[in-house]
Amino acid sequence: MSFQPVDYYNVYDLLTEEEKLVRETVSDFVDNEVLPIIEKHYQAGT
């Protein structure tokens, strides 16, 4: 996970292991699939 948000209310500690895994999986997907192409699509309006 490249972005580490500040968790002022310690919500992360309230998540189950499964929820933490989902969060990590989504974060990895965004890092690997979305971030590399988002600027190109924004510029192209697609």
Dump strand ranges (E) for 1-46. Answer: none
Structure tokens at 20: 């933490």
- Each residue of 24-42: pLDDT tens digit? 999 999 999 999 999 999 9
pLDDT the model gives residue 16: 98
Rounded distance, CA 41 to CA 39, Å? 5
* pLDDT at residue 13 greater than cutoff 70: yes
Query: What residues contact residue 2 under an 8 Å CB cut-off, 6+ apart?
Result: 31, 35
